[in-house]
Structure 1
Amino acid sequence: MEVRAPTVRPMTSGAFKQTDVGMIPMDWIVKSAKQIAEPVRGGSPRPAGDPRFFNGQFMPWLTVASLTNVPQSQLVVSETASSLTEEGTNYSRTLQPGTLIIANSGATLGVAKILGIKCCANDGIAALLRLDQDVCPKYLAYFINTQTKMLREVVATGNGQPNLNTALIGDLKFPLPPSRKEQEAIAETLSDADALIESLSQLLTKKRQIKQGAMQELLTGKKRLPGFVDSWGSVTIGSFTDCTAGGTPSTNIETYWGGDIPWMSSGDLHLKHVKDIEGRITDEGLRSSSTKWIPVGCVLIGLAGQGKTRGTVAMNHVPLCTNQSIAAIFPVDSYDSLFLYFNLESRYEELRELSAGDGGRGGLNLSLIRNLAVPMPCLIEQREIARVLADIDSDVASVEEKLAKARDIKQGMMQALLTGRIRLVQPASSVIQLLTKPAPIRPSSAQATHNWQINEAVVIGVLAQRFGSEKMPLGRKRRVKLTYLLHRHAEGRAEGYLKNAAGPYNPNTKYKGPEQIALKNGYVRALRNEKYEGFVAGEKIEQAQRYFEQWYGEAALAWLERFHYRKTEELELLATVDMAMVDLAASGELTDVASVKRIIAAHPEWLPKLSRELFSDERIAATIAECRTILGG
């Protein structure tokens, strides 16, 4: 699934105000750290390393250096690497569980955490003591962590070693929701996001360990797949194929760049399986340099660089050109390229040690690669090993994608929740109770003269006429959502709808007559083309239109037009959120993002929706507002 930046509804000037920390809701306030707490620094016994103070067992000892080992997704510090002696605590500062701490120097400068243990902290750590009771420390920590870059680059002082002193920390300003309850709701939501990130991180570590173990066993022959017993040989890469390096057109000549030819730099090797790249050169750039086209399925190796690039292995799945720092090993029929890719990937450190320069400071070259020995199982076994490792690789990539998405979602949530653009606890003045059974928009005595099946058949016909075409007939999934929304608009309720995986769904329209009546009466006809299947208007659609106008009025037709160009998944979101809001109103509960998510999570067929970007917090919040406007307001 493609990961997109969260969409945020625009803020209105009537609901927000400009402050020192940016736009925030009218009912929020801004306070500095020194107004709500006492900023202090930790203390370090001197001299450092003195056995009278250090390496004891009396009190956990937290240093700014040890914070680098705490994952970003872990807000609470629950252990330390070492402890002080009882005497050592006399020369430090003891902090209690629940204290908000901030790294004021070092690599983690500006990072905030919450203590989960009683411990002593060194002087590279600051803390906020005697925090006001109406302020949630976790909320403050999450806000501080959105300001880390600014704290490092703008606020921190010092020439060689930037430092946050207590005065600077005391001046740090916070946007504060009006109640601790709302602050805690925000912190809890972000904590849930952290928990997901942490669990995915642990799963990714496990998957990578499984892959590493499988490569060590399968690529060396220590473990054989069932059915393979023949011994392996060993050959050099140059004995069965050749390799080449690319080049770079002059960056000073503009006409060489921005064309249609994909051009890969060594920085793109981290993609591993290269299916698309940003770099583009022109035909003139290709002719003017030593770069060249390489076919699909080459094994690519980074040739140079003191960073991680040298020795990094990738494979291209599209034809492209490369720069001079990438060697491309050509695919051949006699040796499986994917097997070769996994073999060389497992030998990353070995490849980095190979060098044409003194002391490993040079780079790999084509000659070294051609002379590199690789195992030679039979071709069928190569392919089977590659298939097994590719499946494991796919698992790893899937978790990596989920983790990246989870991090992006959390980032979007922080931007929205910590600025009040999304409210988890709605202000009392903005909560609109949704009526479950409002009076019909236009009472009609005619509605008593026909039954439900005929009514729905007419609705099906009109929707097919309005939303279906010969090229794209109206499918059932889209039609059901439109029918639900029409009934909610015109009658204030939509009866008979169940919580289906695709959203509100009424099985009676299919199994209890309306669809068949619509077909039999000529209101619709079924159509299937090469891409789509559904209903289009039938020969007697005018009759259905007359009935519809009598029963619902022309205004209902105009109201429906707002959905003409909406995607089906957007209608699913709209109908699902509205149905959840109806449930909340029926039970007398207030509607907000958290309560709508709770309704969705409570139904097994709806629960998977919450893992989709479509049902992000910000999309749900925007949809709540839309439902209030067009259905419940």
Structure 2
Amino acid sequence: MVMAEAAAALVTDVHAQEQGLSEGYKQTEVGPIPDEWQVGYIEDIAIIATGGRNTQDRVDDGHYPFFVRSQKVERINTYSFDGEAVLTAGDGVGTGKIFHYIKGKCDIHQRVYRISDFAEGINGYYFFLYFSANFYGRIMQMTAKSSVDSVRREMIARMPIALPPKSEQEAIASAVFDTEQLIESFESLIAKKRATAQGAMQDLLTGKRRLPGFNEEWSEQPLGVIAPLQRGFDLPNSRLREGPYPVVYSNGIINHHDEFQVKGPGVVTGRSGTLGAVTYVKDNYWPHNTTLWVTSFGQNDPRFIGFLYSWIGFERFASGSGVPTLNRNDAHAFKVRIPPSSDEQKAIAGLLQDIDADISELEKRLAKARQIKQGMMQELLTGKVRFV
């Protein structure tokens, strides 16, 4: 018996080496996983069912979550399920990409699948992580089309799942959950900062709030006098050559070129299609012909004008029945009040810029946290990184 076991182990090791597997790993239906992990089918570890509600059953400010075929969770005053479950849309625009985890009372749309009543050795949140990370890839392999119209029960039922020991599932779930909490905290803080920025712009750019040391009366002038707009310059892709100068389009800096048309600093906004976006450019640049750029700032501070134009919202000057186009004459005739002192303009712009810098730093940290989570998912759900 001992010799037979040793021979079997030797065969396994040779097979693993032939497949390029690391020691302690085996090749399975879901790819290489640690030797002590198992593979199970969803139908063997959970119950698969669908809801019974229709979208019109939703109730604003209802007592319970209502899972429909959308990433948005609606509300309802009834519940048909109370427990731990993973939900995914059975059809619709986001088929294969919409996933929810619930632990409590809820109601469910009739075309939403509920996976629940997990077996003893299954951590529900680990299952949610694995399922949401791998289900779309599975159903895309099962169709000859470039998209999936609907999910059949067997697509879920016969999906194989990598199953670590439950203690390791729990450790994986806990680590990813903590990262998700960090991401949510960044998202919440950014939303608050943006609301603060919007309020500060509203107060500072209208003179409702004055900064210390400034008390001169503001003057009302049309935008065409303050900082007039001119159409950008054509730059076909065939002429584009990599260089240090930003090429600014209606939705921001897209390319760089070895020549520039306008000396910075500058302010650029959309002329057609994408209206309302305003880009401040510190250095010399090329405003693309889909944009409008400021031709002259006069005695005004360019950064202040950038914030002022962002706050105004050039969507209000759209015209045309097809692709919206900014009516430059209407924009130039629009009157606003501004501080006569460039020092006050610079002080206002500096404060708003500091708020923007805080938001930008938080967005970088958010992006990093999301990147960490993605890396954790790839490593932990395949057993490349272990909690043992």
* TM-score normalised by structure 2 residue count: 0.84
2:71 match: 68
1:175 match: 162
1:400 match: 363
Structure 2 letter corresponding to 1:83? N
2:225 corresponds, among 236, 239, 253, to 239
Query: Matched residues in 1 for 2:202 and 2:39: separation?
Result: 57
1:295 match: 263
1:220 corresponds, among 198, 203, 206, to 206
1:42 match: 51
Tell me, yes or no, if the aligned pair for 1:216 and 1:346 is still in contact at 8 Å.
yes
Counterpart check, 1:410 vs 2:386:
no
CA-to-partner distance for each residue in 1:472-527, whole Å, 9 max, x for gaps? xxxxxxxxxxxxxxxxxxxxxxxxxxxxxxxxxxxxxxxxxxxxxxxxxxxxxxxx
How far off is 1:211 after superposition?
0.7
Counterpart check, 1:125 vs 2:123:
no
1:340 match: 305
Q: Higher helix proportion, which one?
A: 1
How far off is 1:58 after superposition?
10
Tell me, yes or no, if the aligned pair for 2:62 and 2:76 is still in contact at 8 Å.
no
1:83 match: 77
Structure ranking higher on relative contact order (CA contacts 8 Å, 6+ apart) = 2
Tell me, yes or no, if the aligned pair for 1:303 and 1:325 is still in contact at 8 Å.
yes
Query: Matched residues in 1 for 2:212 and 2:111: separation?
Result: 57
How far off is 1:278 after superposition?
5.9
Tell me, yes or no, if the aligned pair for 2:52 and 2:109 is still in contact at 8 Å.
yes
1:150 match: 137
Query: Matched residues in 1 for 2:254 and 2:86: separation?
Result: 43
Structure 2 letter corresponding to 1:131? F
Tell me, yes or no, if the aligned pair for 2:205 and 2:338 is still in contact at 8 Å.
no
Counterpart check, 1:279 vs 2:255:
yes
Query: Matched residues in 2 for 1:402 and 1:57: separation?
Result: 33
CA-to-partner distance for each residue in 1:93-113, whole Å, 9 max, x for gaps? x32222222232334433332
Larger radius of gyration: 1
How far off is 1:217 after superposition?
1.0
Tell me, yes or no, if the aligned pair for 2:261 and 2:285 is still in contact at 8 Å.
yes
2:276 match: 311
How far off is 1:43 after superposition?
1.5
How far off is 1:364 after superposition?
1.6
Q: Which runs of 5 or more structure 2 residues have no equivalent in the other structure?
A: 1-19
* TM-score normalised by structure 1 residue count: 0.53
Query: Matched residues in 1 for 2:134 and 2:250: separation?
Result: 29
Counterpart check, 1:260 vs 2:236:
no
CA RMSD of aligned residues (A): 3.1
1:375 match: 337
Query: Matched residues in 2 for 1:314 and 1:25: separation?
Result: 51
Identical residues among aligned pairs (%)? 28
1:448 match: none
CA-to-partner distance for each residue in 1:561-582, whole Å, 9 max, x for gaps? xxxxxxxxxxxxxxxxxxxxxx
Tell me, yes or no, if the aligned pair for 2:230 and 2:293 is still in contact at 8 Å.
yes
How far off is 1:380 after superposition?
1.9
CA-to-partner distance for each residue in 1:508-556, whole Å, 9 max, x for gaps? xxxxxxxxxxxxxxxxxxxxxxxxxxxxxxxxxxxxxxxxxxxxxxxxx
How far off is 1:23 after superposition?
2.7
Tell me, yes or no, if the aligned pair for 2:247 and 2:257 is still in contact at 8 Å.
no
Describe the shift of the 1:331–1:411 C-alpha distance in structure 2 as closer, same or farther (beyond 3 A).
Answer: farther
Q: Higher strand proportion, which one?
A: 2
1:501 match: none
Structure 1 letter corresponding to 2:376? M
Q: Which runs of 5 or more structure 1 residues have no equivalent in the other structure?
A: 1-10, 71-79, 270-276, 284-291, 427-633
Query: Matched residues in 1 for 2:264 and 2:119: separation?
Result: 63
2:288 match: 323
Describe the shift of the 1:148–1:368 C-alpha distance in structure 2 as closer, same or farther (beyond 3 A).
Answer: farther
How far off is 1:208 after superposition?
0.7
2:11 match: none
Query: Matched residues in 2 for 1:157 and 1:183: separation?
Result: 34
1:100 corresponds, among 86, 89, 96, to 86
2:324 match: 362
Query: Matched residues in 2 for 1:186 and 1:386: separation?
Result: 46
Query: Matched residues in 1 for 2:108 and 2:292: separation?
Result: 50
How many aligned positions are there? 367
Query: Matched residues in 1 for 2:86 and 2:72: separation?
Result: 18
SS at match of 2:369: helix
How far off is 1:259 after superposition?
3.4
Query: Matched residues in 2 for 1:107 and 1:99: separation?
Result: 22
1:384 match: 347
